[in-house]
A and B are shown apart, each in its own frame.
Chain A
Amino acid sequence: MVVYALLTMGVVLTAVLYGLHTLRKEYRPLLRALCQREEDPEGPDGDGEEEGQ
């Protein structure tokens, strides 16, 4: 039973760590860029009217 619990927790931990890794790798830079754009819509990252034209 201990082996089974060990294996279960190992698999769950793998999934959780992969989730944290994805959040860090994919979402953090994107959200940072989006927040920056919200604060400064006319900036280089934004797509304000001037840039659109």
Chain B
Amino acid sequence: MNAVSWTVAVTLLAFGLVGLCMARKIRNGDSFYIMEEKAPTLFLVCGICMSYISVVTMSTGPGICYEKGPFVLLTTAQPGAWLGMLVAVLFIGRKMKAIGCYTMPEYFAKRFSDGNVTFLALIIMVAGMELYGVSQLVSIGRILSEATGLRYPWVVLLLTLAIMLFCVPGGTWSIMMTDTLMFVVVLVTAVVVCPAIIAVVYPEAVQALPEAFWSVRGTGGGSAASGFSQLILWFTFFAGSPVIITRVFPAKNDFAVFKAAVISVVLIAVISFLLYFTAGLMRGVEPELTDRDWVMFQAFLQHAPPVLGLVGVAGVLTAAVSTSAVLFCLAGFSISRDFFSLLNPDKQQEANNVRRARIAQAFAVGLGGVAALLYPSSGYDLSVFACGIFAASWLPAILMSLLWKRYHAAAAFYGMLSGAMVLTVLQALLTAEVLALPDMMHYILSMGVSILVSVAVALRWPAGPGNVRRHYQIRNAQLSDQVVREARTSPGALPLLLRDYHRMRRTLLLAAAVTAGGLLGLCLVFYRLVGGG
């Protein structure tokens, strides 16, 4: 076994044990699904960041930066993804938490009270999560197979077993705890290992690379319109992503959610910049890499001090494994809770059974592992397709159901179905090279079809009184109500609540002043660079 193999084994074993230990925190269904709503800001920050930072961020994204230049992605896809993340956390996630959702298909059940809509949402959830999880397993499996010398099936088997340890015993407790610890590894990778590599390769790389490589357009020569469409596309991918939205459900209160959202954006911006900048510099020192997705591994193993390089390897591994674990966990939750509720509508009190939840977790992870073994296709394409399914089917349905009282069950059903079907058919035609479309255009087309069908059906058939009542019930539900309920039930809660409120307000005002000042300063710098000479 080489050093990379040992690093992989120790990392998986350590985090697997942490996941196993979290089983003792599970007392009932609430603790398994939503940590009894006890997650503090730290857990939420790490959960959101680790859901965002996947193998795409650590391997495929750097590969694109290596090829075209780092600022192509950093100024288009990244800001779009952050904005989408904010909408997912602050608008959609908070609203779903306010009405007491444990899973996302539960929102469709509460809003539409229609078995067909819930069933379709459930199918999309399980299929999308499994596909996304498989894409992560395939990507990291291939990289680790090459790095360790182990055969691909063995790597996938080991990863599947490790993910089972993360998901099955402790549910959300395990996921949140392992995410928190894994985030430390990823953060060290970005803020310690990457700068160490930058310090070594910077002088040689900067001289070897043309100036255009560092520009917003990069060496690919993309237009402003294509950059803007990338921004919008990644916005929709993240705004409709169940992985990000459901991170809000275990939060202990609303203040923690707000703090986590702001801190996560800053941390992700710093981490992405350091990773992508390092990948860009690698082009200057190793311009002939055959597999561009290998660029960060090459940087860690060839240009970092040995120990730090292995930390970097652990960073890539944890990013992939944590995202896969969350994805399979959410698929398992949907099977154990939503599917059970759909089959047994009169046994709602049994929906939180922990044993059944664990069996569903094991099934979801096992299914993902088998799929990764049998269908080792391109991990990146599969990731984007899975994100696209949620953007094309769920996002229009969720946003319209929250904002439009006439939006009813039939509109949601046909809107979601048409979005998912059009995307699947277009993707199949593109893969078979029967059809040619500009890059990512099929996602925009399928979203457009979903919206058009939804609106047409909603306008054609009127919404019933029950639909309008549920719309207003959800619209009027605020997360602040939960805080007030706590203040009313326990006598000492009001002073604490007031303290938290004032502290939060002061923090946000300070952050607003600092950010606005920084923004103004940067605008002046930008003006001097571009306009004022």
Interface residues of A (CB under 8 A from B): 1-20, 22-23, 26-27, 30-31, 34-35, 38
Contact = CB atoms under 8 A, between A and B. Distances in A.
Contact of A1 (B71, B90, B479, B483): B71
A8 to B, nearest CB: 4
A52 B79 CA distance: 52
Chain B contact residues, majority secondary structure: helix
12 contacts: A9-B515, A13-B512, A15-B265, A16-B515, A19-B90, A19-B504, A20-B509, A23-B501, A27-B501, A30-B484, A34-B484, A38-B494
B192 interface: no
Contacts of B488: 34
Contact of A11 (B71, B86, B497, B512): B86
Contacts, number: 102
A15 B519 contact: no
B313 to A, nearest CB: 27
B425 interface: no
B526 A31 contact: no
A12 B515 contact: yes
B515 A23 contact: no
B182 to A, nearest CB: 23
A35 B493 CA distance: 12
Contact of B505 (A5, A12, A14, A20): A20
Interface string B251-282: 00010001001100110010001000000000
Interface of B: 71, 74-75, 78-79, 82-83, 86, 90, 216, 254, 258, 261-262, 265-266, 269, 273, 478-480, 483-484, 487-488, 494, 497-498, 501, 504-505, 508-509, 511-512, 515-516, 518-519, 522-523, 525-526, 529
A8 B509 CA distance: 18
Contact of A9 (B273, B494, B518): B518
A15 B504 contact: no
B508 A8 contact: no
A52 to B, nearest CB: 13
A14 B480 CA distance: 20
Given A7-B75, A38-B494, A12 B265 contact: yes
Nearest to B527: A2
Contact of B261 (A3, A15, A17, A30): A15
A40 B298 CA distance: 68
Ranked 4 nearest A-B pairs via Cβ: A26-B480, A7-B79, A8-B269, A13-B515
Contacts of B82: 8, 11
B273 A4 contact: yes
A17 B501 contact: no
B69 to A, nearest CB: 12
Contacts of B483: 27, 30
